[in-house]
Structure 1
Amino acid sequence: MLWKSRKTTRRSFVAAALLTALAVPQAAAAAAAPASEPSASGTPVRVPAPTGKQPVGTKTLHLTDASRPDPWKPAAGKRQLMVTLWYPARHQGDRNTPFVSKELSKLVIGKEDLAGIRTNSTLNAAPARAPRPLVVLSPGFGMSRLTLTGLGEDLASRGYAVAAVDHTYEAPVEFPGGRIETCETCEKPDMAAVVRNRAKDFSFVLGRLTAPGSPLAVDRDRIAVVGHSIGGASAVETLRVDKRVDAAVNLDGDFPGSLPAGGPNKPVLLLGAQRAGHMENWDKSWQRLTGWKRWLDVPEGGHLTFTDAPWIADRFGLRDQLPPDQVAGAYGTLHGTRSTALTRAYVSAFVDRHLRGTPSPLFDRPSPAYPEVAFMKKP
């Protein structure tokens, strides 16, 4: 997992995601990454287009949980979180929202290049009025919520309300006014404590989004949580402890120890890459998942396959800047186009099945449309 890498206090989420396992210092990253240039048609680099039919809006929330102090930095006061929302919009406006701010890009790679990437969302667009099923996203340790933008936009284009959470002091997080808080837990992370704390973050965000006055029209009876790496383990823990959550997806996230006896009796999708230690970890927890479940793996993939890292690495030539063993661990041999397509397909099929009651053959047998995905275990 990414959290087992060397010190991360001088590295940040895109360094972790794009330069694999927090192994490349900022100076090297700055030298390696080429400038973000428009394509031959003059258009900017853009997050892969969503596959759904609905226009996508986006908002950013700054939330404070007045019920608890920050667990990683008590001197900071009450727990503060940044959340990105993606949702079906009434109309498509200016799809020019930056992927990341200039300040955060400069912190990460020493340049503003990543701020040149544009999303497919209209900033502050009016949300569609009808209540929508809610999907909450959580990134890997040391990584930003923005590394799940491609997945979040795609789910929103398919009619879901989506909220991606930054877990403060577990990665660099930018707050309004340009304040950036760095990672306070990266020196000696207690990953079991991280999972417990993220579950509390999830529950707090769910409370805000399902309460009167929520910025989105959310169907409080249809909620799923999805996470990458330790965010995936946290999603399953949230499913276990929060009765409001109906289903969870773990994208290549090891569990810190085994799941407690009598684990969640609700739907869980394990979608990973075939790493030796990871396989043993999931095997220990498999029998503790007592509801609907599937374990699928991508043998050609790597730990970052299920994030935006592969397509960005392809666009900026970052694979060529890394040793082969780091490329294999982070990306495998699967490139960004296919990584994005299969992640979107299986996550959306899962939430469609368990939040909308729409079955999918993707969970019945291997699919010729996605030959990269192998069935590992099925009840």
Structure 2
Amino acid sequence: MTKNSARRCVHPGRGRTGTVAAATLLATLAGSWIPAVAASAPASTAPTALAAPAAARSAGPEVPAPTVRQPIGEKTVRLVDESRTDPWKPSAGKRELMVSVWYPARSGRGTTAPYVSPGLSEALYGNTKLSTVRTHAVVDAAPAAGGARPLVVLSPGFGQSRASLTSVAEELASRGYVVAGVDHTYETAVEFPGGRIEQCAICGPEERDNAAVVRNRAKDLRFVLDRIVANSPVVPGLRVDRARIGMAGHSIGGASAVEVLGQDARVSAAADMDGDFFTDPPAGGVKKPVLLLGAARAGDLGGPMDTWSPAWKHMTGWKRWLDVGKGGHMSFTDMHWLADQVGLPPGVPPEDAAGAFGTISSDRSNALTRAYLVAFFDRQLRNAPGKLLDGPSAEFPEVAFLKQEGGGSAARKR
């Protein structure tokens, strides 16, 4: 892995078709044009907007349904790392994060969680359309009965909300996982209790230190992991199996997931969805399982913008490099089907979206992303049999196996 600390963090500098378009879309969503009403949102003594109005919930589009009919719950929590001053805005004091936890629920009855609040939708998308999107998770639902469950922690792309990985999170939760989605404060717009919205502090046009972003995210993710597996759970009654923990992320969030894998002995496997690498590998390399799920990277192999090939040499455990040739950088997030359902944000030309999403349909990109992440974590955290990661599949002909090594799983003997 090489350090590319001066490259743009939005969609760090790959010379492929669609890269500039993806960067344009991400830059727009990262808040370079954030409306003044959102930017000046005041703190409030009222409860945070955890439930959208019923009329909005019934009128809007729905997150792609999980493929398993299992009730799921979602709890949103604010966590404060008292050991760190915020690196992006020191005047804010201690590092504070917002986290959503998805999990199998005892019942599907109750108020479903909004995708985002109207205020956060304005900050992220320039309008309130995202707040009309319906999800399948019940707010603060009682966890389903059962033993300790495997955990997957998710890190979104730069400028993106944790909500952008909702479909993946709900799918994993419906299959018995606990999933924690993390907002990295001041790297996107984040809503805190009381309706306070903190804008992105490092989303300007200037170049930034991407390696520093990855290292700070690794601290965020390890802190969240500390809190999720603590003896006092963030969701009462929810048990996490400390021997079965995975990380996954999109874009720089994927690079951060692999960073944590190399640092933290508690983490058994990591999946990187189209995220370039910016930091050097740990001493001895990464010896645990890694899934690299990329978009149209085959033409970059060995080129100056190819950070995955050098990184591959330092991954000495089970590993797969999958490529969606017709995909785009945003194909692995909710943004593709959101563009189809609610339209593009203001100021994004359709041709830029076409480059960001590739030529694959949003239904297919969503289906394959969920299928391969589930197959990876089932294999590595549950030692579950399955052939999807053994080679090309007739079910998903869009996915090519560029490189693969290793068999078995990282599931620990219990």
Task: Return the TM-score normalized by structure 2.
Answer: 0.81
2:113 to 66, 89, 97: 97
Equivalent residues, number: 359
CA distance in structure 2 between the aligned counterparts of 1:284 and 1:197, rounded to whole angstroms: 23
SS in 2 for 1:350: helix
Task: Return the TM-score normalized by structure 1.
Answer: 0.88
| Amino acid in the other structure paired with 1:72 | W
Return the offset for 1:17.
Answer: 8.6
| Amino acid in the other structure paired with 2:156 | P
The question of 1:337 aligning with 2:363 is answered: yes
In structure 2, what is the equivalent of residue 204 of structure 1? 223
**RMSD, aligned α-carbons:** 2.6
Superposed, which structure 2 residues align to 1:93-172 within 5 Å? 93-94=109-110, 96-129=112-145, 130-172=147-189
CA distance in structure 1 between the aligned counterparts of 2:304 and 2:385, rounded to whole angstroms: 28
- Does the 8 A contact of 1:258 with 1:281 survive in 2? no
SS in 2 for 1:128: coil
Relative distance call for 1:278 and 1:314 in structure 2 (3 A) is farther
Task: Give CA deviations for 1:126-152 in whole Å, capped at 9, x if unaligned.
Answer: 012421100000000111100000000
| Amino acid in the other structure paired with 1:44 | G
Relative distance call for 1:83 and 1:4 in structure 2 (3 A) is closer
The worse-fitting range, judged by mean Cα deviation, of 49-58 and 296-305 is 49-58
- Does the 8 A contact of 2:183 with 2:190 survive in 1? yes
Task: Give CA deviations for 1:147-177 in whole Å, capped at 9, x if unaligned.
Answer: 0000000100000000000011111111000
Return the offset for 1:107.
Answer: 2.5
Return the offset for 1:359.
Answer: 2.7
CA distance in structure 2 between the aligned counterparts of 1:2 and 1:325, rounded to whole angstroms: 21
CA distance in structure 2 between the aligned counterparts of 1:158 and 1:279, rounded to whole angstroms: 36
- Does the 8 A contact of 1:5 with 1:23 survive in 2? no
SS in 1 for 2:9: helix
Return the offset for 1:325.
Answer: 5.2
1:181 to 174, 198, 206: 198
| Amino acid in the other structure paired with 2:137 | S
Task: Give CA deviations for 1:316-369 in whole Å, capped at 9, x if unaligned.
Answer: 343998546523431000121111100000000000001000132111110000
CA distance in structure 2 between the aligned counterparts of 1:182 and 1:23, rounded to whole angstroms: 13
SS in 2 for 1:177: coil
1:271 to 286, 293, 303: 293
| Amino acid in the other structure paired with 2:187 | E
In structure 2, what is the equivalent of residue 369 of structure 1? 395
SS in 1 for 2:103: strand
CA distance in structure 2 between the aligned counterparts of 1:352 and 1:60, rounded to whole angstroms: 25
1:300 to 310, 326, 333: 326
CA distance in structure 2 between the aligned counterparts of 1:4 and 1:164, rounded to whole angstroms: 19
In structure 1, what is the equivalent of residue 25 of structure 2? 20
In structure 2, what is the equivalent of residue 33 of structure 1? none
CA distance in structure 1 between the aligned counterparts of 2:245 and 2:121, rounded to whole angstroms: 32
In structure 2, what is the equivalent of residue 248 of structure 1? 270
| Amino acid in the other structure paired with 2:64 | P
Q: Which runs of 5+ in 1 are unaligned?
A: 7-15, 29-37
SS in 2 for 1:283: helix
CA distance in structure 1 between the aligned counterparts of 2:177 and 2:250, rounded to whole angstroms: 19
The question of 1:291 aligning with 2:317 is answered: yes
The worse-fitting range, judged by mean Cα deviation, of 320-329 and 306-315 is 320-329
In structure 2, what is the equivalent of residue 46 of structure 1? 62
CA distance in structure 2 between the aligned counterparts of 1:325 and 1:43, rounded to whole angstroms: 28
Q: Which runs of 4+ in 1 moved over 6 A?
A: 16-19
Return the offset for 1:44.
Answer: 3.2
SS in 2 for 1:3: coil
In structure 1, what is the equivalent of residue 412 of structure 2? none
Identity across aligned pairs (percent)? 56
SS in 1 for 2:60: coil
CA distance in structure 1 between the aligned counterparts of 2:337 and 2:282, rounded to whole angstroms: 36
The question of 1:318 aligning with 2:340 is answered: no
CA distance in structure 1 between the aligned counterparts of 2:247 and 2:34, rounded to whole angstroms: 36
In structure 1, what is the equivalent of residue 50 of structure 2? none
Return the offset for 1:261.
Answer: 4.8
Superposed, which structure 2 residues align to 1:222-237 within 5 Å? 222-237=244-259
CA distance in structure 1 between the aligned counterparts of 2:149 and 2:34, rounded to whole angstroms: 44
SS in 1 for 2:259: helix
SS in 2 for 1:149: helix
The worse-fitting range, judged by mean Cα deviation, of 148-157 and 317-326 is 317-326
Q: Which runs of 5+ in 2 are unaligned?
A: 1-6, 13-20, 36-53, 406-414
The worse-fitting range, judged by mean Cα deviation, of 357-366 and 257-266 is 257-266
In structure 2, what is the equivalent of residue 217 of structure 1? 239
In structure 2, what is the equivalent of residue 9 of structure 1? none
CA distance in structure 1 between the aligned counterparts of 2:22 and 2:239, rounded to whole angstroms: 32
CA distance in structure 2 between the aligned counterparts of 1:167 and 1:111, rounded to whole angstroms: 22
CA distance in structure 2 between the aligned counterparts of 1:153 and 1:3, rounded to whole angstroms: 27
CA distance in structure 1 between the aligned counterparts of 2:126 and 2:356, rounded to whole angstroms: 22
